[in-house]
Structure 1
Amino acid sequence: MTTLTPTAAVSARRAPLLPLLTQLVLAELRRLARNPMFALATLGFPILFFALFGLPAVHEKTAAGVNVGQYILVSFGTYSLLTLAMFSFGAAVASERTGGWLRLLRASPLPAPLYLLAKVIAALLFSALSLALLYAFAHFVGGVTLPAGQALLIAGKLLLGMVSLIALGLCIGFLANPTSASVIAQIISVLVSFGSGLFVPLDQLPKFVQNLAPYLPSYHLAQIGWNTLAGQGNDAPHWVWLAGYTLVFALVAAWAYRRDEARGE
């Protein structure tokens, strides 16, 4: 009989990470899809808002010569990613943390980074679906057409920049309880969306809002999308801002996670 060393025994019991990650991602996607209110907010509301605000203006032009329908399409695409990040990570993580799920995971061999990575991948996949549905509605109902290459480029940039919003959602999830996390996520989604010019162009908002906008992560994410749409502008400063937000929010979330771990929560 062959005797395994302790290290070999642990390796033998450890599941391959890729299949485990795949199962975690699928479980997270099922959780998102089975929550009707979440699906309505992230998939339905952006389409509804585009129908209300975008369809009446699909043939108009902005001062920069950009089609208004395309401009609003990028705006509500950004809004859908913001909403998903706030609720998928803010409210959901808070519920899993206080409900004991994270405490159970800490006691299991599952690495905590793998759990978070699965949630990030699932959120990006769900976000890609949200953008695809919004693009399809704008195209088939409103006649708003983007070249395939440009549409994919804008979607790719928005999804990449969404990581900063995910980090913000993690901060909410690890700092607040489930009830307050949902309220905070809702308030942040609404205020930040308006403050970033996603619902109303910034030049039509009060001066103090225009001054505040450059300090909001969703503003920089939307600017990247709008600049790509117009084929102009230097996105480097916006990426630097988003990277800074990601780092700061991730550090705060990591600190809150370790605090809960120390408390045994």
Structure 2
Amino acid sequence: MKTLVKLEIARTVRNRRFMFFSVLYPSILFLVIAGGTPNDKVIDGTHITFAAYYMVAMSAFGAMTSVLMGNAERIAQERQKGWVRQLRLTALPGSGYVTAKIASAATVSLPSIVIVMLIGALAKGIRLDAWQWVAIAFATWAGSLVFAALGVAIGYLATVDVARPISMICYFVIAGLGGLWIPVTGWPHWTQEVLGYLPGKPYAGLGQAMVLGDAPHAKDIAVLAVYLMIFAGTAAWMYRKDTRRA
């Protein structure tokens, strides 16, 4: 499995277009959105500054771009070309295949998180304690595993022709309803309660809680853990199902 992880990381790094959109694009968006706002401006309904809010949001957005968009289309292409069938003929179990895909995608997502946070500190003067910087980066990275698993599941459920549209729909819906582009704090209370059970808002909530010096909410962690099990379980089941057919 370690060999497969190294291979996946090397293949992703060589894709310059993908690396640009997943690593640099979120940083550019952060500067465009937050660059012209006062550093002390606070988001309505929160105690988080505009700059800190979008630093966390764009870090999450970049990580999600890396793991969701990359995994889904790539796996669909591998299935079409027969690469996955070759892997099924080896001793690699379904859980090992899914774990390797998730691990390789999550490894690539880390630079996008770090770059956005560096720009937030240097360009927007965001000041946090050392533990907060480390905790936000780790929580955003760990939370992205959920969307890496979703990408694997989509790649196994969809053909090459529809893998990209499906992943893009999921991507935009999750980001939009999660408040990564526009804060949802001004939305009706019942709407926010519903969104709390979708993966986007709890994912953004991990970093937002630590910006305020708090621990992530247990509900957010639990919701993301459930989605991770569902997505990873679906992907592993599809892998084993194809194995029985082979």
TM-score above 0.5, yes or no: yes
Superposed CA RMSD in Å reads 2.2
The alpha-carbon deviation at position 211 of structure 1 amounts to: 5.4
- 1:24 maps onto 2:4 in alignment: yes
Amino acid at match of 1:238: D
In structure 2, the partner of 1:218 is 200
In structure 2, the partner of 1:15 is none
CA distance in 1, matches of 2:19, 2:190: 34
Distance 1:208 1:183, change over 3 A: farther
- 1:65 maps onto 2:24 in alignment: no
Local SS of the residue matching 2:185: helix
The alpha-carbon deviation at position 207 of structure 1 amounts to: 7.8
Local SS of the residue matching 2:128: coil
Amino acid at match of 1:75: A
Query: Which moves more between the two structures, 94-103 or 62-71?
Result: 62-71
Amino acid at match of 1:128: L
The alpha-carbon deviation at position 217 of structure 1 amounts to: 0.7
Local SS of the residue matching 2:179: coil
CA distance in 2, matches of 1:98, 1:221: 32
Structure of higher CA gyration radius: 1
- 1:87 maps onto 2:59 in alignment: no
Q: Equivalences for 1:1-265 in 2 at 5 Å?
A: 21=2, 23-57=3-37, 58-63=39-44, 64-204=46-186, 210=192, 212-232=194-214, 235-264=217-246
- Number of aligned residues: 244
Contact 2:106–2:148 (CA under 8 A) maintained in structure 1: no
Amino acid at match of 1:100: G
CA distance in 2, matches of 1:173, 1:74: 27
Query: Which moves more between the two structures, 184-193 or 158-167?
Result: 158-167
Contact 1:77–1:131 (CA under 8 A) maintained in structure 2: yes
CA distance in 2, matches of 1:208, 1:237: 16
Contact 2:146–2:228 (CA under 8 A) maintained in structure 1: yes
Superimposed CA distance per residue, residues 111-138 of structure 1 (whole angstroms, 9 cap, x where no aligned partner): 4544433332222221111111111222
CA distance in 2, matches of 1:233, 1:26: 33
Contact 2:184–2:192 (CA under 8 A) maintained in structure 1: yes
Contact 1:38–1:87 (CA under 8 A) maintained in structure 2: no
CA distance in 2, matches of 1:141, 1:32: 29
Percent of pairs with identical residues: 28
In structure 2, the partner of 1:12 is none
Contact 2:207–2:216 (CA under 8 A) maintained in structure 1: no
Distance 1:56 1:214, change over 3 A: same
Local SS of the residue matching 1:56: coil
Local SS of the residue matching 1:42: helix
Amino acid at match of 1:60: K
The alpha-carbon deviation at position 195 of structure 1 amounts to: 0.8
The alpha-carbon deviation at position 24 of structure 1 amounts to: 2.7
After TM superposition, the score normalised by the length of structure 1 is 0.83
